[in-house]
A and B are shown apart, each in its own frame.
Chain A
C-alpha cells in the first residue's frame, strides 16, 4: 500500500505520536511527520491528521495560534482540494479556528478538565471516516479536554444536523456541547473534527479498540478510491 498519511506537530502537541502510531497500525506505513513551521506539506498526501494537545499553550484561544501557523495554509488548501483531514481534540479546535469547520469550542460547562472514557454515538455512518460504523452504534472512546464545549448558532446547528454533518454525539452528559455534538464534518465530508480521541482506542490493551474502525474506514476508502 502506498498510503501517505501525515501528522502535523505544533509546539505543544502531545498526541502526535499516538496519532502516528494509529495511522501506521492501520495502514502498515509509517506516518510522515510534519512540523508547524514547514513552508508546505509533503506532496501527494492521502490523509492529514491534526493531533491533540495544547498547541502554543492555548494562548489567546485553544487552537487560535496553530490555525495561523505556516503549515496551516497548505493544510487549508489541501482540505479544499478534497484531501481527508482529521482533527482530534486540539486538532478540532484548530480546524474551527482555521475556518475549515463551523462553530467554536468553548470552556467545558463544568469548568473542569475532563479526562475519561465516554459513550459516543455514531450519527452519520456514511462519511469516509465513519463508514466502518453503523448509525446509532455506541462507542467507548476517551476524551481529555478543557475546551470541548461545542458552540454554533441555531441556524448553523440546524444546517449541520439537516445535512448529516454531525458525525458523533455524546451519549451522556460530558461538556455542555450544543446538542451533545462531539464531532462534525465539513460540507464536502472530507474534514472531520472531533473532541474524543479515536487514536487512543485502537486496541484492547488501551482499554478500547472502538476508535480503530475510524482509521480503517478512512484508509480503506482511500486505497479503494
Chain B
C-alpha cells in the first residue's frame, strides 16, 4: 500500500523558502496570500503488514528532523 508522509516545519521555525515563495507569488500579482510554509511529501510503497509504529519510527529516525519538523502519516488506500 501507499503511504504519504507529510513533513512540515514546526510553527515558529522561520521558513526562508516559504518566505521566498510568498514573495514570488506577490511578484506575480497574486493578492491575499498571508503566509507560505514549504514542506515535503515522501511517498512510500509498503507491505500492508507494516505497522503504524514502524512508520512512526521511520519518521522519527530519518524522514523528519524532530528539532525543526512535524510529520503526518497518511495511509492511501489505492
Residues on the A chain within 8 Å of B20, using CB? 111
Write the A71-99 contact mask toward B (1 if CB under 8 angstroms, else 0).
00000000000000000000000001100
Closest to A61 in B: B65
Number of A residues near B (Cβ < 8 Å) is 19
CB of B62 within 8 A of CB of A107, answer no
Interface residues in B10-48 by Cβ distance below 8 A to A read 13-14, 16-17, 20
Q: Mark A45-88, 1 if CB is under 8 A from B, else 0.
A: 00000000000000011001000100000000000000000000
Interface size class of B (residues with CB under 8 A): 10 to 19
Q: SS class of chain A's interface: helix, strand, loop or mixed?
A: loop
Q: Give complex CA distance A111, B20 in Å.
A: 8
Q: Which of B14, B62, B68 contacts A176 (CB 8 A)?
A: B14
| Residue in B13, B61, B63 whose CB lies within 8 Å of A151 | B13
A109 beta carbon closer than 8 Å to chain B:
yes
Q: Is A13's CB within 8 Å of the partner chain B?
A: no
Task: Tell me whether B67 and A111 are in contact (CB under 8 A).
Answer: no
Which one, B16, B61, B62, contacts A149 given CB within 8 A?
B16
Closest to A149 in B: B16
A interface with B by C-beta (< 8 Å):
60-61, 64, 68, 96-97, 102-104, 106-111, 149, 151-152, 176
